[in-house]
Copies of this chain bind each other. A is one copy, B any other.
Amino acid sequence: MTKTRRRGVELEKAIFQATREILATEGLAGLTFPKVAAAAGTSKPVIYRRWKSPFELSLAAVQDQIKAENNGRTDEVVFTGDSLREDLMQVMKRFVISMNTFGQSYVTTFFSVLNQEQGTVISKIVEESSTIDIHAIDRVLERAQTRGEITTTAFSNDLKLLPFEWLRYHVFTRETIGDDKVKLLVDDILVPAYRHAGSASEKA
């Protein structure tokens, strides 16, 4: 009988997988090297040799998943709608999908809990995705302006980010985001807001 002994990337994949499972069930606070080793069916020294802290391991595990699922990022989408509403629906639906897959554990585990230095690392990640989100909205707005649906594309970043942040909130609270929320967002919030900017009353 040949004792099978995994090593290299194969072993690493198993460790990442185990890490993500613990992250999902117990959060970052419950992630310890001994637990990971047990869950991955390997030994503690293997983990300690590779990573300095559970936090670093968690980042690696999440990035591994993002890399694996990195087909169809919100960034490089081709918009095909023929109205502001259609384009917005495309952006938001795509966002919800990516959120409900890898985003689920990624966002949920990484907020709160993080003390001092760790917070900055997460801030970086959020900032990056914010850039992508804003970029997507900008393109949608430009298309809408070309069509003549809106009269300006000059909106604050706060406004542009609001829909994404609101959806993320619901990920925090472990709710499942359904089509109803997306529809509400697009039809009752975003479209009116963007159209409203062209109107008269701009109070200071």
Contact = CB atoms under 8 A, between A and B. Distances in A.
Nearest to A158: B184
Nearest to A181: B158
Taking each of A115, A116, A162, which has the highest tally of chain B beta carbons within 10 Å of its own beta carbon? Answer: A162
Interface stretch (A6-14, A33-41, A91-99, A165-173): A165-173
Nearest to A174: B119
Given A112-B111, A113-B29, A189-B189, A166 B172 contact: no
Interface in A19-45: 25-30
Interface in A173-191: 173-174, 180-181, 184, 187-189
Contact of A25 (B112, B115, B166): B115
A193 interface: yes
A30 B112 contact: no
Interface residues of A, number: 43
A126 interface: yes
The A interface is mostly helix, strand or loop, or mixed, namely: helix
B174 A162 contact: no
A28 B119 CA distance: 15
A27 B113 contact: yes
A203 B187 CA distance: 8
Taking each of A112, A119, A195, which has the highest tally of chain B beta carbons within 10 Å of its own beta carbon? Answer: A112
A46 interface: no
A33 to B, nearest CB: 16
B197 A188 contact: yes
Contacts of A112: 27-28, 108-113, 172
B30 A115 contact: yes
A84 to B, nearest CB: 12
9 pairs of A and B residues whose beta carbons are closest in the complex: A29-B29, A192-B196, A112-B112, A169-B169, A192-B192, A165-B169, A27-B113, A111-B172, A166-B166
